Structure 1
Amino acid sequence: MNLPRSSLMLGLLTSGLLSACGSVAPAPSLTAAGDAVATPTASYPYAVTLAVTAADAPEQLAARYDGKVIAFRPQQGYALLATRSATLPQDSAHAPVRESNARAVSGGGMTAFASGKATVWASGKATVWASGQFQVVPENTSIWTQIHLEQAQKLAPHLGQGVKVAMIDTGLDLSHEAFQGSLAPQNEWRDFYDDDNDPSDVGTFGEGGYGHGTNTAGIVLQIAPAATILPLRALGPDGSGDVLSVARAIDWAVSCHASVINLSLGTGSRSKIIQDAMDRASEAGVLITVSAGNEGQNRLNYPADDAASGKHKDRVISVGSVSRLDLKSSFSNYSSHLELMAPGEEVYGPAPHNMLAAWSGTSMSAPVAAGALALALGEHPDARLAAPSSSPEAVAAHLLASADPVDALPGNLPYRGKLGSGRANLETFLRSLKAGDKGN
């Protein structure tokens, strides 16, 4: 089923807050960890970030700004509010910054189910590669051969074991066979859209964004089969969302000790609140992959456009899409700020109801990079504390530096200098990391 591309652009979403990873406060009030619960944010048109200290009182801030405090973290010096007020009081002590929280945030999304290709997921496949075929999803054999996945998995025998990847998306089909034994503990799951602990992919098969999160998470596991997926739902069935819930999902992923966060989403205008959350994640040593956007334009969506210039740019990677011939996908955004390309056309993965389906978009390219990082980090379990060669930023740098340049290909000449370092080559990536270790 081919749906209009414009209707399938993903975005950012709603609400629901809790205390610390894996625990939910029993009432709609601030918890000891500084999060609010039972506070849907989608109905609030504005988001506000404040500078706070332990001397501040959440109730007073809520009254002063005519809104709801949804996160209060004086130890980190900030608070988040949802408000309907179009004006802010003069308050130099708290340096308030207001921005739109509208669900009109556009996405880095996908173009469609590729030609309506959907079949039943085949279970019982025990091997990853056999006789040159990718046994889990044979339909992806040519794509994974393109990025040298088989060789990379041989170089990384842990296959991402011990690495938690947070998928901030439309949710997952949690009962799908593809995810059994691969999900984080259930007390870490969170739905910021419906404000509960069930991050299931919800919707009608073949419509809107339904199945998007199931596919992106499945892509990560095809690259790093032993990685752990943390399902965080922050996008609704139509793929839209609000700023506050995406920012809170990022903070939640950090509190759950995710090593990698995948953001197959985006917006046309910069969000300080989301960028601040990404900075906090990067500060904690988390690596983040972000899709470039699907407008086919000479620009990147946010937060991808901040990846090369943010406070912790060395730990954030923007990803565009190429075809099987390494040509820029017609839908993929491009820019001198873009950092990496990866396959994003007709990428097969799990679909709701234990199905298999193909999607196209930069949303599919970003989790290829996320899976690659998980594959590498599985060989460097102490990366956050390790020597420079295997620090998070070093791992990210190796992924970029090891890519195969593609902008000199005849079909890519119009985009020369705007396709990042090239198309990801996972074998070269793993070999460069091993060489870096030997050099220390």
Structure 2
Amino acid sequence: MIRTLPLLLPLTSVLLLGCNAPGSAGLPVSSDRPGHSAARYNAVISVPVHDGDTVASLEAALGGTVLAWTPPGCSDPAGCAALVGVNHMPAAAADGLQGQGMRVLAGRDVHIERNRDVFSGGGALTAIMGGSRTIWAGGNFLAWSGGSRTIWAGGEYQALPQNTRTWQQIRLEQAHALAPNLGAGVTVAVIDTGLDLQHSAFQGSLSDPATWWDFYAGDAVPQDEGTLGTGGYGHGTNVAGIILQIAPRARIMPLRVLGADGSGDVATVAQAITWAAARGARIINLSLGSAENSKVVQDAINKVTAQNVMVVASAGNENLNKITYPAAAASSGAAGERALSVGSVDLFDRKSSFSNYTKNLELVAPGEQVYAPAPGERMAAWSGTSMAAPMVAGGLALAFGQTLAVPVKDLTVKLAENAADVYNNGANQPYKDMLGVKGRLDLAAFLTNSVRH
């Protein structure tokens, strides 16, 4: 449910998001971290911030507490906006709004939408393998990418050989030769269930801990939590591990917005997007989605893509002729040139039985049985469009690690135009023009036409 309202009710609590003073980037009033607790709200309301607003005046007008403050008069062309969490869905915009509140908020366009558990991380755990003695004895992905040991030997991917066929499909070995920096100096934000921060695979490959945050729990430790095989536990760990197999020298910024059941809120997803961009992420991976088009989240994406941050989103796993948001909005609007939607195919380039599809889907990648680290020094395979998206995010990291031969705004076009044709596959005839511009990710072709050699 999404409504645009002319005025606003008294509120129980307020979160601000949007236009920030230089260096403030969505920070709370009395802390350098977003939010004082892990409080969750049933609805979220976006309110324009005007000149003359103060924390005290908004609190008096809204009957709530300002948890983060964006000074009015910011330079964001989208306008300064307060993001407000409430535990009720107002039946009428003006109910109970009197006196000072009416004077302060009169004439403002107010937007309200459902907040709690609107987003989910898709995919399914399909296989679990053993511990560090048999899998991680050789070190992390960074160690495998250089020195006396190489990632590839005789056409086989050494780190996780179970993925050899998948990586051959997207021509990863050739991509590594075309982008020898392997993503060095590039930070990719993984906005997900968190990840296993202690896993050997990630040591030396994470961003500065000062950039981490758990928006779900309200602390600085975005640890993947739960029981492996139940809900979303391990989802973010898998996604991050896929990115590092594509771009072993990139850095992962772990940001947790989804709980152990794989669900999360509009407000936390939006906060994480702006947080990531403000702290140096060049690419944001969103292996999550919603059937609802969240204006709050899309506003955050528009804000960061205007700063040349790339956003990659998964298309959803319901086998429907429509894709989930924010992927569904990736090909149009303000973010169109720097956002990308990704669906899934199998090892034979056939549409995955679970993958959503539609005319505005931009790209597909192999998303079945993709092996990556799992919590507890293990390895596991997951299947879903959630696994296809990080392959594209990793490909962008490879490109950013080199000298680009094209403008940043053209990278998504290059990814789509240089994809391998999946429409010659008879099995895909029912999905003609609904599996991307051309089809499946081809990293070698993309890099050949995107970076200097």
Structure 1 counterpart of 2:86: 83
Shift of residue 53 of structure 1? 3.1
SS for the counterpart of 2:348 is coil
The superposition leaves residues 386-432 of structure 1 with CA deviations (integer Å, 9 ceiling, x where unpaired) of xxx43221222211111012123100000001001210000001111
Does 1:30 pair with 2:29? yes
1:118 counterpart (105, 129, 136): 129
Structure 1 counterpart of 2:335: 312
2: CA distance between counterparts of 1:433 and 1:187? 32
2: CA distance between counterparts of 1:24 and 1:246? 13
Q: 1:36 to 1:147 in 2, by over 3 A?
A: closer
TM-score (norm 2): 0.85
Q: 1:158 to 1:218 in 2, by over 3 A?
A: same
**Is the 1:108–1:362 contact (alpha carbons within 8 Å) kept by the matching residues of 2?**
no
Does 1:158 pair with 2:161? no
**More displaced stretch, 225-234 vs 76-85:** 76-85
2: CA distance between counterparts of 1:412 and 1:324? 13
1: CA distance between counterparts of 2:288 and 2:64? 27
2: CA distance between counterparts of 1:428 and 1:320? 19
- Spell out the pairing of 1:210-359 with structure 2 (5 A cutoff): 210-359=233-382
Structure 1 counterpart of 2:122: 109
The superposition leaves residues 196-224 of structure 1 with CA deviations (integer Å, 9 ceiling, x where unpaired) of 00000010111110000000000000000
Structure 2 counterpart of 1:427: 444
5+ residue gaps, structure 1: 1-14, 384-388
Structure 2 counterpart of 1:40: 38
Structure 2 counterpart of 1:10: none
State the one-letter code of the partner of 2:116.
A
**Is the 1:39–1:70 contact (alpha carbons within 8 Å) kept by the matching residues of 2?**
no
Shift of residue 287 of structure 1? 0.3
Shift of residue 119 of structure 1? 2.5
Q: Specify the structure having the higher radius of gyration (Cα).
A: 2
**Is the 2:26–2:274 contact (alpha carbons within 8 Å) kept by the matching residues of 1?**
no
2: CA distance between counterparts of 1:151 and 1:341? 19
**Is the 2:121–2:232 contact (alpha carbons within 8 Å) kept by the matching residues of 1?**
no
Does 1:61 pair with 2:58? yes
SS for the counterpart of 2:174 is helix
2: CA distance between counterparts of 1:66 and 1:390? 50
State the one-letter code of the partner of 2:47.
L
Q: 1:68 to 1:407 in 2, by over 3 A?
A: farther
2: CA distance between counterparts of 1:52 and 1:32? 21
Q: 1:60 to 1:41 in 2, by over 3 A?
A: farther
2: CA distance between counterparts of 1:365 and 1:159? 19
Structure 2 counterpart of 1:391: 407
Q: 1:16 to 1:59 in 2, by over 3 A?
A: closer
**Is the 2:343–2:361 contact (alpha carbons within 8 Å) kept by the matching residues of 1?**
yes
Structure 2 counterpart of 1:371: 394
State the one-letter code of the partner of 1:30.
V
**Is the 1:260–1:286 contact (alpha carbons within 8 Å) kept by the matching residues of 2?**
yes
**More displaced stretch, 303-312 vs 260-269:** 303-312
Does 1:127 pair with 2:150? yes
Structure 2 counterpart of 1:3: none
Aligned length: 407
Shift of residue 92 of structure 1? 4.6
State the one-letter code of the partner of 1:427.
A
**Is the 1:67–1:84 contact (alpha carbons within 8 Å) kept by the matching residues of 2?**
no
SS for the counterpart of 1:82 is strand
**More displaced stretch, 409-418 vs 122-131:** 122-131
- Spell out the pairing of 1:405-416 with structure 2 (5 A cutoff): 405-416=421-432
Shift of residue 60 of structure 1? 2.8
Structure 2 counterpart of 1:403: 419
5+ residue gaps, structure 2: 1-13, 95-101, 139-143
